[in-house]
A and B are shown apart, each in its own frame.
Chain A
Amino acid sequence: MDKQTPLYSRHVALGAHIEPFGGYLMPIRYGSVIDEHLVVRKGVGIFDLSHMGEFRVKGAGALEFLDGLLTNNADIPVGKAFYSAMCYPDAGIVDDLIVYRLGDDEFLMVVNAANIDKDWAWVMSHTGSFDVRITNESDQTALVAIQGPKSQELAALLTTVDLDSVGFYALARGTVAGRQAIISRTGYTGEDGFEFYISAEDAPSVWDAAMKAGEPLGITPVGLAARDTLRLEVGYVLYGNDIDHSTSPLEARMGWAVKLSSDKDFVGRDVLRRQKEDGVSRLLVGLTVEGKGVIRHGTELFQGDRRIGVVTSGSMAPSLNVVVGLGYVEKACSKAGTKIEAELRGRRIPVTITRTPFYTAGSRRQ
């Protein structure tokens, strides 16, 4: 049975096309996917991301525990966040996630909706003798995001927190529309933006306040379809499409979030180390379609008669008006500029390996 987020009735009232995603009934689009996409590139869009999962990790052993579970370094300053993979011993990916350091001994893990149960079981099976208390707060936590170049202008109308002091991948605690929130400058669109972690019961009032305050800025609700095209244009991976148990973070070019050079030990490290020494045989690359056709997840890629890879995400890119995608290809074919072909319904269309992000004019702060 699919769950509803605390904002479900808002989506219904807005006439959204609603479909199950990751176990939740989510707004896929409210009207035009292209319009929703472009609003985030030029103005500000608002997203209900309450389907995402939140695990709170507290205790004197919290840092050590997370460092043993995550590929990235968890020892970051309080008030900052980091992106990481969480791997199986075979280096396959359990999930990709964002982790916030809320205190010396307190972290918040934000995981993909479809993986909440799996991740919870995985995390809990590794607590061992660590001094940690972990709570799954997914059902009690709502997440409202505002994204786009005008998002700080909007956020300033909703909170008294000094937003200039909240850097990229940093957080502040304060109120949004009078409700307690974690306010972070994070997102999945390539634009500047904020994410508000609030309690489920506060979600409707925060959403309504943001919609009202954002009206003069042209705020538009944005569904998961545009969220997907936005992330694809900047080359961000999506779990279940581009990464999963069968892919390693090194193949997915997430090596920057895999700390192999320090003495940090974590699940999957030995296999990842070997992969780094030996080199991986395939790599995730950006793909630009030169001919007519839309590549999709599962479209096969060829060089001459030889199958060299497969598309993992693909779509028309609304800001660029070309069809782009991500996919794994043999390492020898992975250099930007390499010409390959995609097979669509028995027809071959030319594709060029392209460096990501495809869209480079985003307002995201560094």
Chain B
Amino acid sequence: MSSIPGDLRYTKNHEWVRLGADGNVTMGITDHAQELMGEIVMVELPPAGQDLRAGQSAGVLEAVKTAEDFYAPVDGKVVAANEALESDPGLVNRDCYGEGWLITIHPSNPSQFEGLLDAGQYKELAGE
């Protein structure tokens, strides 16, 4: 049984999304997703300033045997990417909701956040 914090929003692609006090959203992959993928050995992140649309590939997580894209949860501009993952991609496994975050986006359409799954809906989707 994986951890699904109640204060976050989620996507169908097993990403979590946190709304910051500044209106920016930070995202990562869920505990369920990191457990399914196994050890992340490399992370490809988008450059700051890149415009993304909701559902668009934002980067790639490479596990030993598989690679998975991760997707922008909302429209917006990348304002930060987690550079610590460059030297320690395993942070995604060890602390997926904290130090293993992926990117922060400045949303261009803030109402999209409210349309994301809540913890209960995600729990159902993840089959837990």
Contact = CB atoms under 8 A, between A and B. Distances in A.
Interface of A: 17, 28-29, 32-34, 225, 228-229, 292-294, 296, 315-316, 318, 323, 345
A318 B60 contact: no
B51 interface: no
B118 interface: no
Contact of B64 (A17, A225, A292, A293): A225
Nearest to A31: B38
Contact of A33 (B36, B39, B60): B39
5 contacts: A229-B65, A292-B44, A293-B44, A316-B41, A318-B64
A316 B42 contact: yes
- Place the interface of chain B in its size category: 10 to 19
B65 A228 contact: yes
Nearest to A316: B41
Contacts of B63: 33
A29 B38 contact: yes
A225 B38 contact: yes
B39 A345 contact: no
Given A315-B65, A316-B62, A318-B64, A33 B38 contact: yes
A17 B32 CA distance: 13
Interface of B: 36, 38-39, 41-42, 44, 60, 62-65, 67
A224 to B, nearest CB: 9
**Does more than half of chain A's interface fall in helix, strand or loop, or is it mixed?**
mixed
A28 B36 CA distance: 11
B38 A294 contact: no
B88 to A, nearest CB: 13
Contacts of B67: 294, 296
B65 A225 contact: yes
A345 B63 CA distance: 16
A229 B64 contact: yes
Contact of A316 (B36, B44, B60, B64): B64
Contacts of B36: 17
A33 B65 contact: yes
Contacts of B39: 32-34
